[in-house]
């Protein structure tokens, strides 16, 4: 299935995409590809690759939204308030504020970090999701994730170390 999808062409189109409506349309198409591949029993790697490209597109929208100024609506002479640039943006792309907030957070994540998370998902045979990516990055930023490289093996083992839980267990057992 993966060989039927022209990934290089898709990646090029994503890089070149400037029109907001075209970006949203491509984002929806990537989600549709993922769902189609899942329904026909295609590989998880193909689904995750489609999700990766969808996230790249969401990042573009999030970046644009982030660049808009924070402003308050100003009253018009008629007594109604004029919409802010952010309100107009939300209406133009037909997404809610919560979705845009998530996409704004995604826009801060590097391409390398997304690829790293995709590799982890593929190794663990789990679906790449925006929520999972944001959780992964947050846990890493808080210091809960550590990469351990074994010199004798070409394997990188990703371990989640939940410091609070370890501390609570140690305190409970009286270990310092």
Q: Could you state, in order of their start, the residue ranges of all structural domains in the chain?
A: 2-173
Computed on alpha carbons and rounded to an integer, the radius of gyration of the chain in Å comes to 21
What average pLDDT does this structure show over 137-152?
63
User: What is the three-class DSSP state of 148?
Assistant: strand
Each residue's pLDDT tens digit, 24-66:
888 889 889 889 988 888 899 999 999 999 999 999 988 888 8
CA–CA separation, 92 vs 146, rounded Å?
A: 41
Question: 127-165 in b/e burial notation, b at 16+ Cβ within 10 A?
Answer: ebebeebbebbeebeeebbeeeeeeeeeeeebeeeeeee
Each residue's pLDDT tens digit, 76-120:
666 677 777 777 777 777 777 788 888 889 999 999 999 999 999
pLDDT value for 155: 38
**pLDDT score of 159 more than 50:** no
Cβ neighbour number for residue 75 with a 10 Å cutoff: 10
pLDDT value for 113: 93
């Amino acid at each position: 299935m993966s060989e039927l999808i022209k990934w290089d062409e898709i990646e090029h189109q994503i890089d070149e995409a400037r029109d907001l409506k075209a970006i949203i349309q491509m984002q929806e198409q990537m989600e549709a590809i993922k769902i189609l591949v899942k329904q026909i029993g295609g590989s998880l790697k193909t689904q995750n690759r489609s999700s990766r490209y969808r996230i790249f597109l969401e990042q573009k929208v999030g970046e644009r939204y982030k660049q808009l100024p924070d402003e308050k609506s100003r009253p018009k002479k008629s007594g109604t308030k004029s919409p802010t640039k952010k309100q107009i943006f939300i209406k133009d792309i037909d997404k809610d504020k919560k979705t845009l907030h998530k996409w704004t957070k995604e826009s801060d994540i590097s391409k390398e970090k997304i690829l790293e998370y995709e590799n982890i998902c593929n190794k663990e045979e789990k679906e790449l999701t925006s929520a999972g990516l944001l959780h992964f990055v947050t846990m890493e930023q808080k210091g809960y994730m550590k990469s351990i490289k074994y010199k004798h093996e070409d394997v990188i083992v990703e371990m989640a170390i939940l410091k609070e839980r370890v501390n609570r267990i140690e305190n409970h057992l009286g270990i310092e």
